[in-house]
């Protein structure tokens, strides 16, 4: 990097931060190359699935399982564009058109949605996105039986350093594509005028773009050019109905209640999907889903689904890790480590202890205590207490050691299990039932290179995951110096000063927690757009960690007969359930012949790296089926941990390629006399997977972490090292929510 770019790059990054948006210059959404897949390919998908259903003895209910991805970013997104830059060894732009060709040909999906960050979508980019998604659907063949359905949406991206004001990220998706079926503008979580500092004037950024382009650094100039367009977009007026606002203003909603109100004003069908909630690089310590059960912060009609697995990790599993404890005065202090978990604030103290050197013991202990408190106060960036430290110093602090493909720095009170156990009794005085989350469970990729459904094969780690890293050691040192500051005294902890830009560039540990991502499956009445949407709306959906596992989970003795996953029922007798699961097809190398004919060789290589979804003839066995039982709170303050039984039951399966069937009941349901949530988890035979061992921790005889062997996204780990480790890939059903309804005789007796 030359001296000129060393001067220009910090200005680019600072300007990006000030206006919260930097994507590619408005050069269009790209060109979709491929036409619809041949009808015979689509027919074969249904026939193979029908054969598996017959082998398992599943009645033909007229439904087919379709696979998709409801969380896909192109380089129209803020962070996606940053990771495409040369400083990250980026591939360059991947606009929305790439997502269409990748979903159709590389991953062979049935549906997907585009979800670029609203915070960086200029009016021009929003219109380009709409046009590209429409074109993708026009190429799909017969609308009643298309090869691919593309949905339109965006991501509402909110974070806060204060747990009580942190609401996380949500994808907003619409079923239709006509002008009267979609909003004129995406809704951001922030506006330009909310910043303490205003962005530089547009003429300054235009001049800077010209200078940087003249120096030969076109990608960075593209950032500035697009930033100019964003800076020139005025904020929408507050308190004005959305349909009365100008088309080309920047609309924002600072909290979910405002987002839902604005969506109400549009009056359109919408599904809003919380996702990535438990990922601790965004969520502050102590953040909890209980916050959003209050007031109008949760809309159960819109928030019908939750993404529990993505390429950024698993947000399913609750662990009773304390974010902090309080002393007698109410001061937050660092909790002590346990056998299964070490808080990063505690690790900060141990780092300080190693640096004490010839300090007297009392002074050393004072600095150890200070390091712990400063790291706790550092929120999402405790490592900046020692800016000169490396990831190896922090070992596996704040990580879940026994979770499946965990999210980095898991926030347990933002997991799906914790949410399912919560109750809010605010309306109890009105005789209303407690407020609860009743989500369907899905998975998706959260891919930031316009690659929907990357989990079909475990290959090309730095291409098929969001693992990114600085290109070389010199660049990394400069970035950390620009954005993280320097260590004033190596033997004294300092206050952590984190910025959003530093979080984007601090990729060293994150890369070990990046996976190819999950996938969402729907039990749909047909392949058309409305059938898929209806399945999503009724929550007859499930997620997998990537493989196309087939899964059925039914309440056998429902009030109206067999009842599928996602249902809500009332029972006065013990529920009886049935689970049927079939493993995914083993993959053949390369791509099917119709793919090689449908895309040019150059595009096939750039998008797919010459590997596609290419199922063989044999399915992997299901190793086991686990049942999770959760009993939501029935009184305020009831402890959560005892309410989550994971697993409550486990059934080992014979290693048969034609699948596994189990049936079980809950004899405690009636005597427990409380509502219960049940869901199934089908575990596939172990296979190698990218980053399945995350930090690859080494431990001593006591089980204490002593070293890590990270899988870097940058120069430290070779790009051809996929960091594979064996793991049981899995599928999660949507829960069945069974409310206890006392028998009529019992109610009559109570009335007497």
Position 471 scores a pLDDT of 82
Q: Which two tokens stand for residue 474?
A: 């010199």
Task: Give 10-residue mean pLDDT values along the chain (752 residues).
Answer: 38 39 56 96 94 84 93 90 82 93 98 95 93 98 97 95 93 97 95 52 67 64 68 89 95 96 97 94 92 95 97 96 87 91 96 96 97 94 91 94 95 97 85 91 97 97 92 78 78 81 68 95 97 98 98 96 96 97 97 96 97 97 98 96 98 94 97 97 98 94 89 90 97 98 62 51
pTM for the full predicted model: 0.93
Q: Which two tokens stand for residue 347?
A: 């690790």
Q: CA 693, 696, 701: angle at the middle one, nearest 5?
A: 120
Domain 31-191+235-319+413-462+514-689+728-740 CATH superfamily = Metal-dependent hydrolases (3.20.20.140)
Q: Which of 569, 543, 540 is nearest to 556 (CA)?
A: 569
Per-residue pLDDT reduced to its tens digit, 386-412: 989 988 999 999 999 999 999 999 999
Identify the burial level of 601 via C-beta atoms within 10 angstroms of its C-beta, where 0-12 means exposed, 13-18 middle and 19 or more buried.
exposed
Q: Which of 643, 686, 654, 661 is nearest to 579 (CA)?
A: 661
Position 745 scores a pLDDT of 55
| 449 φ/ψ angles, rounded to the nearest 5 degrees | -135, 30
CA distance 169 to 282: 9
Position 232 scores a pLDDT of 80
Query: H or E element: which one contains 501?
Result: helix 500-505
Position 120 scores a pLDDT of 85
CB 168 within 8 A of CB 414: yes
- Tokens 């990357």 sit at which residue? 454
Domains of the chain: which residue ranges? 31-191+235-319+413-462+514-689+728-740, 325-399+471-506
């Amino acid at each position: 990097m030359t001296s000129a770019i060393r001067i220009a790059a910090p200005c680019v990054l600072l300007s990006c931060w000030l206006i919260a948006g930097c994507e590619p210059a408005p050069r269009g959404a790209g060109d979709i190359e491929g036409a619809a897949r041949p009808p015979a390919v689509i027919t074969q998908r249904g026939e193979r699935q029908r054969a598996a259903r017959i082998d398992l003895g599943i009645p033909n209910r007229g439904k087919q399982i379709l696979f998709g991805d409801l969380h896909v970013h192109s380089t129209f997104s803020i962070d996606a564009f940053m990771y495409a830059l040369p400083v990250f060894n980026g591939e360059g732009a991947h606009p929305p058109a790439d997502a269409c060709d990748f979903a159709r040909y590389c991953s062979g999906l049935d549906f997907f949605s585009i979800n670029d960050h609203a915070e960086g979508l200029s009016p021009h980019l929003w219109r380009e996105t709409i046009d590209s998604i429409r074109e993708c659907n026009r190429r799909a063949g017969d609308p009643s039986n298309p090869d691919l359905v593309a949905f339109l949406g965006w991501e509402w991206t909110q974070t806060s350093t204060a747990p009580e004001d942190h609401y996380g990220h949500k994808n907003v998706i619409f079923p239709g594509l006509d002008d009267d079926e979609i909003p004129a503008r995406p809704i951001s979580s922030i506006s330009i005028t909310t910043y303490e500092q205003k962005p530089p004037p547009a003429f300054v950024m235009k001049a800077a773009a010209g200078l940087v382009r003249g120096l030969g650094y076109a990608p960075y100039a593209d950032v500035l050019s697009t930033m100019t367009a964003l800076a020139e977009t005025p904020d929408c007026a507050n308190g004005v109905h959305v349909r009365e606002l100008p088309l080309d203003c920047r609309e924002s909603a600072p909290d979910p209640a405002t987002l839902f109100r604005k969506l109400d004003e549009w009056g359109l069908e919408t599904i809003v999907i919380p996702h990535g909630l438990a990922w601790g690089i965004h969520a502050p310590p102590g953040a909890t889903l209980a916050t959003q059960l209050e007031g109008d912060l949760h809309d159960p009609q819109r928030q019908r689904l939750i993404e529990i697995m993505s390429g950024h990790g698993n947000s399913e599993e609750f662990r009773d890790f304390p974010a902090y404890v309080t002393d007698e005065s109410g001061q937050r202090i660092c909790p002590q480590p346990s056998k299964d978990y070490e808080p990063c604030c505690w690790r900060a103290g141990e780092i300080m202890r190693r640096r004490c050197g010839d300090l007297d013991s009392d002074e050393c202990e004072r600095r150890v205590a200070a390091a712990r408190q400063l790291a706790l106060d550092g929120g999402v960036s405790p490592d900046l207490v020692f800016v000169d430290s490396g990831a190896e110093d922090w070992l596996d602090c704040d990580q879940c050691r026994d979770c499946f493909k965990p999210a980095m720095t898991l926030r347990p009170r933002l997991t799906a299990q914790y949410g399912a156990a919560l109750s809010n009794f605010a309306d109890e005085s009105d005789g209303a039932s407690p407020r609860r989350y009743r989500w369907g469970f899905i998975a998706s990729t959260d891919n930031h290179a316009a690659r929907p459904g990357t989990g079909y094969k475990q290959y090309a780690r730095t291409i098929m995951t969001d693992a990114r890293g600085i290109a070389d050691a010199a660049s990394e040192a400069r970035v950390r110096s620009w954005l993280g500051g320097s260590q004033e005294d190596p033997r004294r902890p300092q206050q952590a000063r984190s910025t959003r830009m530093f979080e984007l560039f601090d990729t060293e540990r994150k890369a070990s927690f990046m996976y190819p991502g999950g996938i969402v499956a729907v039990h749909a009445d047909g392949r058309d757009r409305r059938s898929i949407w209806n399945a999503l709306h009724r929550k007859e959906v499930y997620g997998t960690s990537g493989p196309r596992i087939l899964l059925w989970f039914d309440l056998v003795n429902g009030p109206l007969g067999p009842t599928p996953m996602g249902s809500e029922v009332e029972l006065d007798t013990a529920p009886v359930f049935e689970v049927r699961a079939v493993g995914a097809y083993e993959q053949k190398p390369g791509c099917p012949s119709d793919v090689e004919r449908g895309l040019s060789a150059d595009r096939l290589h750039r998008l797919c790296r010459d590997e596609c979804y290419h199922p063989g003839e044999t399915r992997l066995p299901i190793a086991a089926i686990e049942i999770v039982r959760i009993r939501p709170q029935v009184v305020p303050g009831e402890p959560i941990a005892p309410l989550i039984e994971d697993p409550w039951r486990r059934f080992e399966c014979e290693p048969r390629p034609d699948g596994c069937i189990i049936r079980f009941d809950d004899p405690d349901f009636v005597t427990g006399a409380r509502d219960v949530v049940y869901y199934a988890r089908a575990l596939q035979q172990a296979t190698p997977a990218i980053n399945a061992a995350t930090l690859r921790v080494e431990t001593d005889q006591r089980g204490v972490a002593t070293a890590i062997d990270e899988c870097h996204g940058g120069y430290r780990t070779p790009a051809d090292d996929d960091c594979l480790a064996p793991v049981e890939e899995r599928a999660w059903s949507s829960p069945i929510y069974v409310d206890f309804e006392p028998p009529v005789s019992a109610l009559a007796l109570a009335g007497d």
